[in-house]
Amino acid sequence: MESKLLAAKSEPLWNTNNKVISIICGLVILLFSLPLFGLNSFYLHLFIMIFMHAVMAQSWNVIAGFSGQISLGHGAFFGIGAYATSFFYMQYGITPWISIFFGMFISAVFAVLIGIPMLRLSGHYFAIATLLIGISFQVVFQRWDLVGAASGLWVTMTPEDSWLALQFHSSKAPYYYIFLIFFIITFFVVWLLSRSKLGYRLRAVRDDPQAALSLCINVSNYKIIAYVISAMIMAPMGSLFAQYILIIDPDRVFNIEISIIVLLITVLGGIGNVWGPIIGASILIPISEYSRIYLGGTGGAVDLILYGLILMIICIFRPNGLISFIPKHILERKKQK
Amino acid sequence: MNILSVENLSRSFGGIKANDNISFDVDQGSILGIIGPNGAGKSTLFDLITGYTKADSGKVKFFEKKIFGLSPDKISNLGVGRTFQKLKPFADQTLLENVMIGAFVNEKNIKKARDKALEIIDFVDLIEKRHHFAKELSTGQRKRLEMARAMAIEPKLLLMDEVTGGVDQKTIPGLVELIKKLKKTGVTIITIEHNINIIMEISDNVLALDQGKSVAFGSPKEIQKNKQVIDSYLGTFDAA
């Protein structure tokens, strides 16, 4: 028995698969080199949207996948991030590189303020409450003159490309790299989180709050921590998106569709798994963008019908998401008999 | 020395008194067995002690410190571990991950928490199942998982709710041995049991409840001879 214990202790902490690590490194190098191969503007935009939505879904994955709280109003933090950079740049000339952190901070404050009362609710009640919170942000900003009310903010354009102002008019490539770097950093941060003491405790809260309490875990506090982290991941995407399109309004950045799409992406890819949002975004975003190209405007809502169909198929046949297609021996340590 | 003192603890649900003026002390390092028919208020008593249910009145002291009114996480943080009658494993996590969550209470380093969890899993004889998901384990193994997880917080007092309930006959002796082994580590145990033979075998003291009231408290021998216990619970068991 002693030898079995020693053998167990000598096992590596994580099931590191060299092949998987090599594939990841190869993909990262490929992603960094893609613009060098003359990727046209549409494909750069497509990848930017995939990176952005993967990060947004990763944000939702933290609160829903790790701590088990289904938020339907997460678009609020995206909007806060978008307005923070645009407003501070236009009013005070503060570079978006700094105001990104303002957006994160404001989102974190709102996450605490919303989280303290709301996270006492559970299940559907929390979901409905967050849905209403998300909508209320949109309504408030539609009527708030300081931030342009319904017409929103038109970010003052620089005459030339500017890293300081985070504006690039001649090529989308700089945006591509900025979103890519945020995408990699977020993945790495959430990967670390999932393997940390905090990650273990959040999963305990998700799986059984009553049992978690018996293990000295303050369930309410941990839910709020997850909500704050999640909001702080979401906000920079709003900030970068505002700098990318340079015009924001409440209907665009506080739209309920944002909250729904991040949910769909995560569920499609695999909720509670760091790879899930990446897989989900890599499939849903191209469908969305191509349907807009071929059907015009908003895609004739065909993309939404496709989302719905895909989601139904996934929920029926692969409730753990597309990640469950990956052979288990790659994801798990081999079990002993 | 008393590790736990319960004084006049009462709790009603609607008009039903689940616990009515219950008082008892638990000696450090001992095993207290709690017996009683279904609905006697045994699990409610556990919930009151561990803060899962708020008492209407009474006092609970742990090492002379009042823990009455504290939240369950604060009570567990003081060193009171528990298992549940209706098992609550983290089903989608492995046995090792389940126990590591407990081990993280006193270990910040992930490697040390993992090693400590492995030692406890080895203690409950499940080392070969460490990478199995909790949902894949048998009921008996899940009982051991809950004990291991509770032990991982290094409790001074461990409350175990029907450890041998719902498991097959072959599994029971192993679980009983595990409780005895656990006692040797110095931890104080309060255990709810329906199997009267087990409770008499392992307990230093026995508390008998009936309809929310404490009907007897004493050594197993005293309890077996107590007329009220015989009438309400034991029937003609061994008392003749």
Query: In sequence order, what are the beta bridge partners of B160?
Result: B191
Q: Within a domain: residue A88?
A: yes
Q: Which chain B residue has its CA at the smallest distance from A337's CA?
A: B128
Complete DSSP assignment for A75-141: HHHHHHHHHHHHHHHHHH---HHHHHHHHHHHHHHHHHHHHHHHTTS-THHHHHHHHHHHHHHHHHH
Output the pLDDT for position A304. 75
Kindly state the average pLDDT of the residues A257-272.
92
The answer to whether A79 and A86 are in contact (CB under 8 A) is no
The reply to whether B123 touches chain A by the CB within 8 Å rule is: no
Q: Which residues of B touch A191 (CB under 8 A)?
A: none
CB B156 within 8 Å of CB B188: yes
Over 70: is that where the pLDDT of A335 sits? no
For chain A, what percent of residues have pLDDT higher than 70?
A: 95
pLDDT in tens, A150-179: 999 999 899 999 999 999 999 999 999 999
Specify if A86 maps to a domain: yes
Q: Is residue A328 part of a domain?
A: no
Residues in chain B closer than 8 A to A9 (CB atoms): 114-115, 118
| Full residue range of the structural domain in which residue A165 is found | 49-254
Residue B1 has a pLDDT of: 82
Q: Does B128 sit within 8 Å of A336, measured CB to CB?
A: yes
pLDDT at site B235: 64
**Does any domain span residue A133?**
yes
β-strand partners of B57: B10
Residue from the list A195, A201, A213 with its beta carbon closest to the beta carbon of B76: A213
Tokens representing A315 are 């929920």
DSSP summary character for residue A35: G
Asked if the C-beta of B50 comes within 8 angstroms of chain A's C-beta atoms, the answer is yes
Q: What is the pLDDT of residue A234?
A: 97
Q: Which residues of A touch B86 (CB under 8 A)?
A: none
Q: How confident is the model at residue A334 (pLDDT cuts 50, 70, 90)?
A: very low
Cβ of A13 and B113 within 8 Å? Answer: no
In the predicted model, what is the mean pLDDT of chain B?
91
pLDDT at A310: 83
B172 touches chain A (CB under 8 A): no
Q: A66 in a domain, yes or no? A: yes
Statement: residue A336 has pLDDT above 50: no
pLDDT greater at residue A12 or residue A243: A243
Number of domains in chain A: 1
Question: What pTM, to 2 d.p., does this model score?
Answer: 0.90
Position A337 scores a pLDDT of 45
Verify whether the Cβ–Cβ distance B110 to A218 is below 8 Å.
no
pLDDT < 50: residue spans in chain B: 237-240
Average pLDDT rounded to a whole number, residues A178-191: 96
Query: What was the pLDDT predicted at B120?
Result: 96
Q: How many interchain CB pairs under 8 A, A with B?
A: 95
Residues A212-264 pLDDT 10s = 999 999 999 999 999 999 999 999 999 999 999 999 999 999 999 899 999 99
- The pLDDT tens digits for A42-62 are 999 999 999 999 999 999 999
Residue B72 to residue A208, Cβ atoms within 8 A: no
Cα torsion angle, B122, B125, B130, B134, sign: negative
pLDDT reported for residue B234: 66
Range scoring the smallest mean pLDDT among A90-99, A115-124, A125-134, B4-13: A115-124
Domains, chain B, ordered by start: 2-85+155-234 (3.40.50.300)
Other C-beta atoms closer than 10 Å to the C-beta of A22 total 10
The partner residue sitting opposite B104, judged by closest CB among A13, A200, A207, is A200
Taking the C-alpha atoms of residue B239 and residue B216, their distance in angstroms, rounded to an integer, is 15
Q: Determine, yes or no, domain membership for A180.
A: yes
> Is A29 inside any structural domain?
no
Is the ipTM value over 0.90, yes or no? yes
